[in-house]
Structure 1
Amino acid sequence: MSRPHCARCVRPLSHCLCALIPLLNSRTRVLILQHPSEVKHALNTARLAALGLRNAQLRVGECFTELPTLLAPAGYQACLLFPGEGAQSLPDFAAQAGGQPLLLVVPDGTWRKARKLLHCNPLLAALPRVSLPAGLASRYRLRKAPRADALSTIEAITGALEVLEAPASFAALLKPFEALIDGQIAAMGDQTFARNHGAGE
């Protein structure tokens, strides 16, 4: 028999994160496009990010027929948060937007799945690409990332908002994420965590 889950954060009721999820205002609008393979992932950080921001929207799928509408909210300049060749520094892009608020489009999935989203949605692939400043380190201690600066979706969104809306802080967005990580580590035990994730190295 499956455990009862919270309808909002979709965590087991015994580990509900809702009390830790803030409701933050942002001038930037965030559109998260989540690959279906991520929906049931134990660490679904995209959902936590969408719940924690008033001006955010989460859509799940591979081919988004509604993309023309999603990418055209009045008064916003759209860009795709996707590092790599051709990506412009987010602060530089924001400066060129001339004070217009940004629509930050964030694909959620593995690198392979994120690229598939771009392949399936030419409008998405055509957006100007932006990247976060160098030097941001992930707190995602349960994931063996390919690079030290590979961030979870909620970390990337938090980092982007703190760049765009400084001196405002969006650190509260990470509280449920950190509690989720701590809970997973506690469940596996310190020795297992140290063996599998290199704690203390």
Structure 2
Amino acid sequence: MSRAQCPRCLRPQTHCLCDLIPQLDSHTRVVLLQHPSEVNHALNTARLAALGLTNAELRVGEVFEDLHTLLNPPGYQTRLLFPGEGAQPLQADAAATEKLLLVVPDGTWRKARKLLHLNPLLAQLPRVTLPEGAVSRYRLRKAPGPGALSTVEAIVQALDILEAPASYAPLLRPFEALIEGQIEAMGADTYQRNHVTEPPL
């Protein structure tokens, strides 16, 4: 028998995160395009980000038929938060006359690249990246490389840059609780054995 699920955060009712999810405003609009394989993942951080931001939208799919309309709201300039050739470091632009629409693919690196391949309009967007050196709090997945962040962490860092001096750190509260809950569920011994690495000498 399956456990009762919260319809909002999709966590088991006994581990609902809704009380920790803030409601934060932003001038920047965030559109998250989530690969379907991530929807039922226990660590679905894109959903947490979308729930915590009033000016955010989460879409799930591999091909998005209304992408042209989604990417071109009046009065916005659109950027894709994804590394690649020609990607510019993200920075606040006080002189900008248009607001920013930040498009964030959500999935493994391979699945995110697939979203770009299946949706050529995405691949054509100007790209922006986060500053180097970010350290993830995501202690349950091995990062594919230095600076790799979960989706919610990347969004928090991006908005902290774009909307300074405002802080979007409250978005990380449910994320931290999610991580702690997963560690507790697997047991300290299993976590230490499989996820904690010895610091280099």
Q: State the TM-score, normalizing by the size of structure 2.
A: 0.96
The C-alpha deviation readout for 1:81-110, integer Å capped at 9, x for no partner, is: 00132211111xx43972422100000001
Inter-partner Cα distance in structure 1 for 2:198 and 2:181: 19
Name the structure 2 match of 1:25: 25
2:93 is paired with a residue whose SS is: helix
Inter-partner Cα distance in structure 1 for 2:190 and 2:95: 48
- C-alpha change, 1:24 and 1:183, in structure 2 (3 Å) is same
Inter-partner Cα distance in structure 1 for 2:6 and 2:146: 33
Query: Deviation at 1:196?
Result: 0.3
Inter-partner Cα distance in structure 2 for 1:118 and 1:152: 18
Inter-partner Cα distance in structure 1 for 2:9 and 2:88: 33
Matched ranges for 1:32-111 at <5 A: 32-91=32-91, 94-95=92-93, 98-111=96-109
One-letter amino acid matched to 2:182? Q
One-letter amino acid matched to 1:158? V
Query: Deviation at 1:148?
Result: 2.8
Moved over 4 A (4+): none
One-letter amino acid matched to 1:131? T
Name the structure 2 match of 1:118: 116
Residue of structure 2 aligned with 1:154, choices 149, 152, 155 = 152
8 A Cα contact 1:194 1:200, kept in partner: no
Over the matched positions of the two proteins, sequence identity in percent amounts to 71
Query: Deviation at 1:113?
Result: 0.6
1:102 is paired with a residue whose SS is: strand
Inter-partner Cα distance in structure 2 for 1:97 and 1:144: 39
Residue of structure 2 aligned with 1:135, choices 133, 136, 143 = 133
The C-alpha deviation readout for 1:52-92, integer Å capped at 9, x for no partner, is: 0000000000110010111111111100000132211111x
Query: Deviation at 1:191?
Result: 1.4
The alignment of Structure 1 onto Structure 2 pairs a total of residues equal to 199
The CA RMSD measured in Å over matched residues stands at 1.3
